[in-house]
Amino acid sequence: MIHVHDLDGCAPAPLAHYLKALGILRLVAEQVDEGARGWWHGDRFQLGTKLNRKELEEFFLDDYQPTPIFNPWGARSGYFDGGSEKSARESLGQIERSKQCRMKPFRNAIEIVRSVVGEATTGGKPSDKEKDRLILALRLNARGTSSLWLDTVVAVISAGDDVSLVQPPIFGTGGSEGSGSYTSAYMSAIVEAIIKNKWSHAVHTAIFGESEWNCDWKQSMGQFSPGRASTPWDMLFAFEGACVLRSSVGGRTSTNSRKWMSSPFYVAPRSAGYASGSRLDEKFLNKGREHPGRGEQWLPMWARPSEFSEVQQVFLQGRAATRLGRATDGWTMARAVPGFGVSRGIPEFIRYGYQQRNNQATHFAIPLGRFRVPDERAATSSCLDDLDQWLPSLHRLAHPADDKKSKQAPARLTIAYGRLNDELFAVLRGPPAARQWQDALVRLGDVEAVMRGGSGFLAQPVPSLRPEWVVASHDGTPEFRLALAFALQSCAYRVGGRRVEDPIRRHWLPLDRDRPWRFATTSTGTTARLEVSPEVVMRGRRGIDDAIALVGRRLVEASQREGRYLPLKAATHASAGAADLASLLSGDVNLDRTMTLARALMALDRQAWADRHISMESPRASDWPDDAWLAIRLCVLPWPLETRSGFRLDVGADPALVRRLAAGDAATAVHIALQRLRAAGVRCTLRGATASRAMARLWAAALAFPITKRTAEWFLHRLDPNLDPNRE
């Protein structure tokens, strides 16, 4: 018969409670019921075993054999003389003198450690040079579950006679945290709970969490459970669970690079994706100097009942990877987790960062949030691929290495980059709504705004984005449809018989004409600077100013090429409809947000968009723009208009008309437009109109949103119904 127990004493946070779940499953499976299974159900860990509740508690009270752990290379190990070693030495002596059968593995381990210490050292605490030799000797001589502890607390790199060690952050620095010792606390817990049997009443609460106790135990669990009261049983279970996180060493791909420590789901820190993130979360301070931080660990919360051997295999294989290679930091781990989680049935991960707190004096394991594994088939899995190679370059500029040659990044770049990371993490935590995707686009535009100011431009502009970004972020609002139409408009002209597309992104960023995916730069000595170009007229401050500036600049360029039309044509399936333009001109559209989105959408791959055939049709017009603006719009077209009735409207764009609107003179602009239309044969019922200065400027800005020939024909028929072939 299988009993399913709700282990309410275990939880995803703090780290100690997660490790308790691992420890209980491991101990039951290895020592009493190899068929035991465990799994997470929400925030509760469940254990399926042949033991009923009473038998489970009795197993830990009477039969459980604790894993031998030790660190004679660190502080307060108990293996040496000295005042600081007294309490650890006393606990170690009581374990050695214990006659209990369950303590035999620990007594054997102590005997081996004493023998190795005597051979590898001069009898006192090992020097820095002796530590590596001591640990290697212990690894060669350790037996049984002691090897689990050694694999958890230190990873050894050996090359011939040269030996060095790397210490995973799970147990501080090799089993110590500052002057404190995890092994000393663990041995004290064994003495209290097993040898002296003082804490039998606390087993039930440590496992099932169903009652309170008066905790007068003075030992601290350190970073595992900062600021929380605990019992010896809590510590024993947590440390037993930590031994599942076995580490090794992996090599980088290049032959001249350093090796890295490989611990399950362990990566370099990334200060994004949680509310309290700051640059210093990626560092640790020592005597005022910044050093690379201890990193972060993503721990799986599997939902399928699994035997310990299966769980252990997940941790042994805990090396998630993206399409570009192994996950190396918090961002690439978030990108890699979906593939790893889906293939192994893990629906969620909890993210921990090993960060300094208490005035930068102590490291704690800080829960940084939960990560729900999204469906790999979602747009997330493809859209964010576009940023995989660009983000690391941007990260290096926003968080330069701590060396004398590196200058501190400008605050505006660090802030913009941090906000972008937060939005991208929000998308990954999904399932994301269209608004979240739009917010990510806004942050991409914010980063480019910082770059065009001269900071971080060496990372280059936002790379080409696939059309799926539009599918993911389209929310059916006129703001988004207008932004897309604005961003994808262009004009084509011929150079030496070759057709050249001229998109508008160069009016937002100083781009290299031959390589439009890079910034145009000049060099002054060893310093690169962005080129100053009169083409860059969009400033990113007010949407209405940018839209007017674009129209004005394009008309100037048209006159330089002796062109008669406004060189701004709509892309396929991306034009401004009458309904959206009516909303814009009536003040119902947030033009600033529209232009903010448009600046980011300028990075869309235009060829892929044309091939993808994504339709972004606007709703049929129930309200129309004012007739006065329609007259102005028909005088600022990018081509001559051929109607179905055979009428040809060929009115060249007059820059004076746009200048009048930009200056707030709507009456003169309307007068010019009506004159030109009458000269072209259009009989308008409108004889004149005026508007406020603010409305005149809005009319000018609306000219920046491209329309199709079909829409222009509707405008024409509305002004002159006699030209409508369908009119009865």
Dump pLDDT digits (tens) for 640-665: 999 888 899 999 898 999 999 999 99
Position 253 pLDDT exceeds 50? no
pLDDT digits (tens, 9 = 90+) for 361-387: 678 888 998 888 876 555 556 898 899
Three-class SS of residue 268? strand
Neighbours of 41 (CB within 10 A): 12
Determine, yes or no, domain membership for 646.
Answer: yes
Position 403 pLDDT exceeds 60? no
Using the structure block, give the residue that is written with the tokens 């959408």.
Answer: 601
pLDDT of residue 251: 41
pLDDT of residue 431: 75
Position 621 pLDDT exceeds 50? yes
Instruction: Note whether 490 and 369 are same-domain residues.
Output: no
pLDDT of residue 722: 84
Alpha-carbon gap, residue 369 to 346, rounded angstroms: 16
* Domain end marker among 373, 407, 436: 373
The band of 258, judged by pLDDT with boundaries at 50, 70 and 90, is very low
Three-class SS of residue 122? coil
Position 137 pLDDT exceeds 70? yes
Of 25-34, 418-427, 691-700, the poorest mean pLDDT is in 418-427
Mean pLDDT score across all residues of the chain? 86
pLDDT of residue 693: 95
Q: Which of 617, 625, 623, 620 is nearest to 476 (CA)?
A: 617
pLDDT of residue 254: 34
Three-class SS of residue 114? helix
Three-class SS of residue 250? strand
Instruction: Note whether 342 and 483 are same-domain residues.
Output: no
| Cis peptide bond upstream of 567, omega within 30 | no
Q: Range of 590's domain?
A: 476-723
Determine, yes or no, domain membership for 270.
Answer: yes
Instruction: Note whether 333 and 480 are same-domain residues.
Output: no
Determine, yes or no, domain membership for 348.
Answer: yes
Distances in Å between the alpha carbon of 566 and those of 20, 106, 261, 635?
69, 85, 60, 10
* Domain end marker among 352, 373, 394: 373
Determine, yes or no, domain membership for 41.
Answer: no
pLDDT of residue 327: 78
Instruction: Note whether 706 and 559 are same-domain residues.
Output: yes
Determine, yes or no, domain membership for 312.
Answer: yes
Query: pLDDT: is 522 or 728 the higher one?
Result: 522
pLDDT digits (tens, 9 = 90+) for 569-589: 999 889 999 999 999 999 999
548 CB contacts (<8 Å, ≥6 apart)? 658, 661, 662, 697, 700, 701, 704
pLDDT of residue 364: 86
Instruction: Note whether 483 and 358 are same-domain residues.
Output: no
Alpha-carbon gap, residue 604 to 543, rounded angstroms: 20
Q: Which of 234, 171, 229, 238 is nearest to 203 (CA)?
A: 234
Determine, yes or no, domain membership for 709.
Answer: yes
Report the DSSP beta bridge partners of residue 164: 157
Span 699-716, average pLDDT? 95
Position 420 pLDDT exceeds 60? yes
- Give percent of the chain above pLDDT 90: 52
pLDDT of residue 324: 61
Determine, yes or no, domain membership for 497.
Answer: yes
Distances in Å between the alpha carbon of 665 and those of 265, 382, 630, 668, 699?
64, 48, 16, 6, 11
pLDDT digits (tens, 9 = 90+) for 37-85: 999 998 999 999 999 999 999 999 999 999 999 988 887 888 888 777 8
- To 5 degrees, how large is the angle CA 287–CA 289–CA 295? 105
**CA end-to-end span of the chain:** 85
pLDDT of residue 405: 53
Give me the amino acid identity at 647: F
Span 2-31, average pLDDT? 94
Specify the pairing of strand 283-286 against strand 3-7.
unpaired
pLDDT of residue 278: 78
Q: Which of 412, 387, 409 is nearest to 398 (CA)?
A: 409
As for how many domains the chain has, the answer is 2
Determine, yes or no, domain membership for 485.
Answer: yes
Using CB atoms within 10 Å of the CB of residue 140, give its burial: 0 to 12 exposed, 13 to 18 middle, 19+ buried. exposed
Instruction: Note whether 529 and 672 are same-domain residues.
Output: yes
The band of 157, judged by pLDDT with boundaries at 50, 70 and 90, is low
Alpha-carbon gap, residue 199 to 231, rounded angstroms: 8
The band of 226, judged by pLDDT with boundaries at 50, 70 and 90, is confident
pLDDT of residue 17: 94
pLDDT of residue 252: 38
Helices (H), 536-604: 543-560, 578-585, 591-601
* Domain end marker among 373, 390, 418: 373
Instruction: Note whether 511 and 639 are same-domain residues.
Output: yes
Of 104-118, 337-351, 596-610, 622-636, the poorest mean pLDDT is in 337-351
Decide if 285 contacts 360 (C-beta within 8 A): yes
pLDDT of residue 256: 35
Decide if 365 contacts 228 (C-beta within 8 A): no
pLDDT digits (tens, 9 = 90+) for 474-496: 999 999 999 999 999 998 876 66
